[in-house]
Amino acid sequence: MKLIVAQGNPGPEYAATRHNVGFIVLEAYARKHSATFQAKDKFKAELAEFSEDSEQALLAKPQTFYNLTGESVRALVDFYKLNPEQDVLIIHDELALPFGTIRTRHSGSDAGNNGIKSINQHVGSDTSRIRIGIANELRERMDDASFVLSKFNTDENKVLEEKLPKIFSLIDAFIDGSFEATTHA
């Protein structure tokens, strides 16, 4: 089983914010696979499942709020007896990357991302990641918290929509075991 975790904040007020790009991507990916999210309080998450070429995929949107994501990931890893290094992929926004840049990696530090810090504390730093750049010219005029909680504009939503097939192919590569560390503009 492969666990795909999106970082984000629960609630409609956060739905279209930069910090929720992980949720936005995972919801679209679930629709592509006709998978439906259901609340699972035991895991502090909404979960959806599907099978791809005999590999089961579990999609998770933690409901702990972004900075406590590790609590949900720990519960899922323990229950399903997963190896974080081989079986867990995290999808999250990246403030240090230009908007629309997609970078993958196999492990690493939190680089100031409190959600990744929580995951690293709970399951270690060896999870795979898809980092989606959210930085733009507004970034320099706002504090970090205000910026990540701001909504995407119309043009950004269009670019994000255009990036989905590439992100989906990276998730598919993780599920089938061919995931590599790369950067995509």
Q: Are 1 and 79 in contact (CB under 8 A)?
A: no
- Give catalytic status of residue 19 as yes or no: yes
Give me the number of domains the chain comprises: 1
- Domain range for 47 is 2-184
| Degrees, nearest 5: CA angle 100-61-95 | 30
Could you give the angle at which helices 114-123 and 69-80 cross, rounded to 10 degrees?
30
Q: Three-class SS of residue 151?
A: strand
CA pair distance 132, 150, nearest whole angstrom: 16
Q: The tokens of 100 are what? A: 């629309």
Per-residue pLDDT of the chain (185 residues; tens, 9 = 90+): 999 999 999 999 999 999 999 999 999 999 999 999 999 999 999 999 999 878 899 999 999 999 999 999 999 999 999 999 999 999 999 999 999 999 999 988 888 899 999 999 999 999 999 999 999 988 888 998 999 999 999 999 999 999 999 999 999 999 999 999 888 87
Nearest CA among 46, 75, 80, 47 for reference residue 63: 46
Output the domain CATH number for residue 97: 3.40.50.1470
Q: Where are the alpha helices (DSSP H) in the chain?
A: 21-32, 69-80, 84-87, 114-123, 144-148, 154-176
CA pair distance 23, 16, nearest whole angstrom: 9
Task: Give the model's pLDDT for residue 108.
Answer: 82
